[in-house]
Structures are given as C-alpha cells and as structure tokens.
Structure 1
C-alpha cells in the first residue's frame, strides 16, 4: 500500500510539472519553465490531486487528448468574384494607301491635329505640328524563313575614336517604312583597314531607288563592294591622303567606284532585275587614323548631303562640279587606266550618276556630316531643323552614341524617308 501511494505521488508530481502554471500550489521551477517554454498550462482549479477516477487508462487518454494534433485546416480558396464584362470591340484600323505616291505621304487622320495627338507623338519634332506617324517602330518587316539573313534591323548605331577625330554613325528606318512594316533600305558600313597610324577608316552610306523590289539588297551590295575595293587598296590610298595627292585619289577612287557599280549591274542580270532599279546612291568618307593627318576625303555618286558645322553654322560642302578628271590617268591601286565617264566596262555601266569628290582640311572644333537624302532634305529645307541640329552638335565634346542617335531622330512633318547620318568631330 505504501508503494502504491509513493508511485501515485510521483505521477502526480509529473502531471503538475507538465500542466502546472508555475505559481504556488507547491509547483516548482520545472512547472514555471514549462509555462515559459510555451506549453499550455492549466488554471488554478487544475492544481493538486483530484478525487476523480485515476486509473492508468484515464491518464493515458488524458495525455492523448493533450497532445492530439488539431484538425487539418481547410485549404485556402480564392474568393469568387463576378466575371468582368467583355471589352468593347476596337474600331477597325484603316489600311494604308497603296502606290508610290503614298510611300512618303503620311495619312491624313484626326490624330494629325495637335489636340488629338498622343503625347509620344509630340516628342522630338520641329514645326507647327507633330508628324502623323508614331515616333517608335511599329510593324516588323515580313520574314522569309529561307532567307533570314536578308532581314535588316530597324536601327544601326556605331562609333569610334582615332587621334583627333571621333566618329558617330546611325541609320534608322523612316516613319513611312515603320508604319507599313517595310524593311530599312538605307545601308551603312563602317570599317577600319590596317592598324596604328597607317590605318584607314571607311564609312559608306547607300540609298536605293524608292519602291524598288529588293532595293535594300542593292544598297548593302554597294557598301560591301566599295568596302572590299577600298580595303584591298587602303595602303596606297592612305599614303595619297597623307601626301595630299588629290589627283591620284580622285582618279583611283572613281575607278574603284565604277567597278563597284559594274558589279551591281552584273548582280541585276543574275536576279533578272532592271539595272536602273538594282542600284543605289553611294556616298563615302575616308578618314586616316594618323593624328597628324587632318585631310578628310569624300567621294560618291547620287543624292545625299555633305555638310560642315563650323563656328555654329552649317556649310554645304557638296561638290559643285563632278567628274573633274576625264582622261586616262592611272588609279591609285596600280591598275589600268579608268574608263571615261559614261562608258561601259565588261561588268556593266560605270555608274548611274556623275562621280563626286572632295578633299577637305579639318580644323579643331569642326564637325563633318555625311548623310543620306532622308536627313539632307530636311536639313536643307527646314531652317528650324538645321538650327536645332547645330545647337546640339556644336558642343566641344562629341555626343555619346545614344545622344547622337536621339538628335538624328529629330522629326519634321512630311520627311518620312530612312535616315542615315555620319558625324565626325575634330578635337
């Protein structure tokens, strides 16, 4: 009997320690520690022995009730919301006009007025009202899965610094081509031949005839072929520029240009295209990397622009006359004499327009601008446009690539062609 009372007293102490509240009732530090540890404690009425039946089964059942896990909570479900009404149908988008006359003419719509124009369309323009087209790219050109290398990005951007010159170049799809999902037809090539002080930099810009099928390929071919011709003769060309042998330069560059146009005619025959459609205006700059040589050479064929920003004012450097040399002077690459203007070689006609050449000396602070017709036309025809470009590009420090592109993107109503601009800043 004494052993049974001792065992029951020990078990009562264990239960008091497990459920005790740590306060009075004869409970020790163990009970208080259990309460502080987060164990659920009994109230004051639970302290001390109980007169209720106290069998082993009763105690096991009591312990199981104490430690039994709560019921599994019901999974969360999102509240049920009434379905949103279907959106109202959008008005139909008018199809653009077709035909060559509509290519560069913005559509007349209600959004053409300043009061109805989206804010994005009013940014970065000159004139009394913003251009009709949105300033950001719209539709992508259609892609041929078998000719993905024929795709042209909307915008090309490049730059470099050699000696006293800093080069910036950008070519962008025009507003009209963006709206209609047409490919950028302007082509841009920047290339360095050689290294060190003997290096020669070539920048070529080509623009094909409007609305010609596959014309952008002709522009890229023109840039590639004149680039290859200059690259194979760059050593002699760079020497002629350093020594100011302008007659040799003129005759040699004219012959290289003629051969490039002869290749274009040959490619037109391969494609079954009319030679006068598979061609391009081609305008180039030769820039020596030698910091002691400040001669800049322009040559080319067809429409575009050549300008110089000096003392905050634009000067038109477009050559007033063409084909200065018509004789049989040998070219700078040591080949046979060039053909007279207008004659034909075995590869085809020399070129579709007179050859243009000019060599100019660059002064510190000058900015030389070579551009396609898409930029030359508003620069010549819109004084506010020319003023804005001069204000942004006359700073002594050349702009960064992004700033140069942003300025070249300045829009003028009615001028929607592709734009290609090459700027050379002289330190």
Structure 2
C-alpha cells in the first residue's frame, strides 16, 4: 500500500519531465528560426512526428514498466499484508495465550491468598471460640464455687440468725410469762402493746367452747393462718366466744382449692356458736357436692373481661345453692337444741332463726405457683375481705350487710379477686376488720404481717393483742401470697 503512491508520483514526475523537455525543444526551435530558413508547417510536422512517436513510445514503455512495477508492488503488498495478518494473528494468539497464562497465574495466586486468609480467619475464629468457651467454663466454675461458698455462708448465717431469733423470742416469751402474775404491764407510748390479753373469767353456758383457737398451714407459695379470739366485752361479762373459723381443701374441685371461712354468730343468740361451727363444716360439704361444676366456673382464663352479674352467672347460682344448704343445716341446730320447737314457721320459727343467726364469709383460693392468683369471695352479713398491698389495707369485698343466715341465703354476694406476689388477704369478722382499718393499729398490723410467714403462736399473739376495742370476737383468716414456692423459701 505504501509503494503504489510512489509509483504514481514517479510516473507523474516522468510525464512532467517529458513535457518540460518538449517545451525546451520548442523554445530551441523557435530560437533557431531566425538563423535558418523556416520550414513549412507541413515539413515541421513531418520532422516532429517521428520524434513525438519515439517520445510517446518511450513514455509508453516507461509507463508499462511503471505499471508492471506497480502490479508487482501490489502483489508484494498483498503478500506483505497477508504475512502481516499472519504475524498479527500469531501475535494475538501469543498475546492471548500469554494473557491467559498470566490471568490464570494471577487468579490462582488470588485464590491461594483468599483461601489462606479464609483458613487463617477460620482457625482464628475456632481458636477464639475455644478460648472463650474455656474462659467461660472456668469463670462459670469459679462463680459457681464462689456462689456456693457465699450461699453456704449465708445459709449458715441465716440459720444462726434464726436460732438466735428463736432463742430471743423464747426468752421474751419466758419473760412475759414470768411477768404475768396479776400485775398490769404498762403499754409502750405511741404503739400497741405486744403482750397478748389473757381472759380472767371462764365462759358460762352449755354452748360455751374454747376461749381462742388458732390454725394454719404452709401450702407452698400460699401461707395461711387463722385465729378466733373471744372479745373483750364477752370476757368481762363471762360470755362465750360465738365465732368460728375453718380452713380446708375442697377435694372435689379438680384444681387444688383452699376454702377459708369465718362465721360470726349473733352476740345474743343462744346457739350461735354451735350454728357458726355447723355452718363452717356444712359449707365445706355443700361446696364439695358441686366440685366439678365449681372448678369449671371458678377458673376461667378470661373471666376478668367477661364478668357477668352474680344473679345471671352459673357460679353465683352454685354458691347460692350451697349457702341455702348451709341455712338448712343451721336450722337443724335450733331444732336439735329446742327439741324440735323453732324449726317451723310463724313466731316460733322466727325465734328459732334468731337463736342461730350468724354472718358467713368465705373465700375460695387457687393453690400452686401463680403470678396472678385467682380467688372468689362470697358472703352474707357484715364480714369482709381486706387486702394488704404495699403497706396499705384496702376493703376489696363486703357481704350483704343487712342479711343473716339462715333467713338471707338468697341475698348472697360474691366477687372475683386477684392477688399478686407480696399481697395479703384477710377474711375478717366485722370487729377484726375495724381494728385493721384503724390508722394506728392498721399500720402496726401491716408492719407485723407484711412479707411474713409467722409462727402460729406469733400470729395468735398479734390477733390477741391487748388493745381495747368495743367490738365482739376477733376472727380472721390471713393468706400470704408469695407467687412461687421459691419466693416463700427466700422469705423464710
């Protein structure tokens, strides 16, 4: 491709040179004209024709030669181009092969580097995990050993503390017993006395019983204590205690359920103490008759949002039916004590009902570990259920105040309650509720009972505290809810 322009240039140069030569010859001929005789035009043509023919022939020969060289140059150019293409193809193949080899080597090196890095990271991770596991195991072992040591020391200290407290309590009780020789112990200013009251007269009458009773049990996370103490006025007048308390499990209910009952006999009822005791036992038996149905109605998961009035509920109907059975059983007490008189209608029947009149308050409590424990309170009369939460007493249930058994069974009231860990429920007779709701005594009882698991004697002494009250017998059942059995042990 580079020789073709050179040939053309050479050809044009030759043509140009020939033209210049012709011009020069023409000029020379003109210059010689004046010196010689001018030939005629025809002669001049004849003389110039052979020269032009020779020149044209020479030019044609030269042009033919130049064209042949051009063709040869083109052939050589094609050969060179073919060779160049072959060389370029070979070079490209070589370059491609070399690039592939280099890329393969680079990729292999990169893969090796990355594999080495990944293996190194994996090894480091496994080594770190192994070291961390080893450290955690050693730390856990060390912590466990330290915790065991501290727990052992704390347990020993707690045992020593408990033994010391019991010794101190026994010493204080012995001191109180030695001081009770008929002299009055002065009350500490600004606080109720700690010493219990002691009756100075025995009760009179065929219906009389024990001056005081105390009971209780530790039912896992639910701690229960009960006490019934003869009132101050009854002790002074020589009258007997007319209240009764009852603790028991309703075995017929599928889920373990505790029944707590406080029955308060009428102050002037001749047979009200017997009627109160009979009412407690009869209520437990009557609830047992409807155990499975009560279990279904007692513990409904969504009762808090689906509460219905007592008159329209299955649970209210079952409780009312049970209390009606209790009323019938109480009337039998009057019939037995009067020889069959007083169980009928009219004035004689009204007198018999008055002789066994009483107020009844019951509480059904679900046992087991529960963060929200379910209770059902029900009652007739002025008995109530109080709750101690965060040091404050609150009345959460009161029965039908104007009604009494055996005549007012249809007026039964009931309500669902809940307690959470740390709460205390107290099923009280009216006089005991008045003491707990008094500002001075309520705080004192709250301080004595909050988060406690008192001994039976300690609980009895608290209920029988020597404070003057205008009410009658003091009867109460207290339930401490610790939520879980583990928390109960922690509070021991």
- Shorter-normalised TM range: 0.5 to 0.7
User: Which residue of structure 2 aligns with residue 45 of structure 1?
Assistant: none
Tell whether 2:321 aligns with 1:264.
no
CA contact (8 A) 1:162 1:291 kept: no
Structure 2 residue corresponding to 1:286, chosen from 358, 364, 367: 364
Aligned mates of 1:210, 1:126 — CA distance in 2: 30
Tell whether 2:225 aligns with 1:168.
yes
Tell whether 2:421 aligns with 1:364.
yes
CA contact (8 A) 1:297 1:358 kept: yes
User: Which residue of structure 1 aligns with residue 202 of structure 2?
Assistant: 140
Q: 1:318 to 1:225 in 2, by over 3 A?
A: same
Give the superposition deviation at 1:197.
7.4
User: Which residue of structure 2 aligns with residue 192 of structure 1?
Assistant: 249
CA contact (8 A) 1:262 1:350 kept: no
**Structure 1 unaligned residues grouped into runs of 5+:** 1-116, 145-149, 324-341
Q: 1:301 to 1:348 in 2, by over 3 A?
A: closer
Tell whether 2:225 aligns with 1:225.
no
Aligned mates of 1:123, 1:258 — CA distance in 2: 48
Q: How many pairs align?
A: 278
Aligned mates of 1:420, 1:124 — CA distance in 2: 26
Deviations 1:82-117 (A, max 9, x none): xxxxxxxxxxxxxxxxxxxxxxxxxxxxxxxxxxx9
Aligned mates of 1:420, 1:322 — CA distance in 2: 18
Structure 2 residue corresponding to 1:317, chosen from 390, 396, 401: 396
Deviations 1:199-241 (A, max 9, x none): 2211111111112212211111221211210122233323322
Aligned mates of 1:370, 1:269 — CA distance in 2: 30
Give the superposition deviation at 1:138.
1.9
User: Which residue of structure 1 aligns with residue 385 of structure 2?
Assistant: 306
Tell whether 2:462 aligns with 1:407.
yes
TM-score normalised by structure 1 residue count: 0.58
CA contact (8 A) 2:197 2:465 kept: no
Deviations 1:261-305 (A, max 9, x none): 133235435523411332210001112224347101111100122
Q: 1:267 to 1:402 in 2, by over 3 A?
A: closer
User: Which residue of structure 2 aligns with residue 207 of structure 1?
Assistant: 264
Tell whether 2:441 aligns with 1:385.
yes
CA contact (8 A) 1:385 1:412 kept: no
Q: 1:222 to 1:240 in 2, by over 3 A?
A: same
Give the superposition deviation at 1:368.
0.5
CA contact (8 A) 1:154 1:184 kept: yes
TM-score normalised by structure 2 residue count: 0.51
Aligned mates of 2:189, 2:326 — CA distance in 1: 38
Give the superposition deviation at 1:195.
8.8
Helix, strand or coil for the counterpart of 2:269? coil
Aligned mates of 2:384, 2:253 — CA distance in 1: 30
Aligned mates of 1:301, 1:218 — CA distance in 2: 14
User: Which residue of structure 1 aligns with residue 486 of structure 2?
Assistant: none
Give the superposition deviation at 1:135.
1.9
**Structure 2 unaligned residues grouped into runs of 5+:** 1-181, 308-312, 343-350, 483-492
Helix, strand or coil for the counterpart of 2:355? coil
Give the superposition deviation at 1:408.
1.6
More helix by share: 2
Aligned mates of 2:450, 2:205 — CA distance in 1: 41
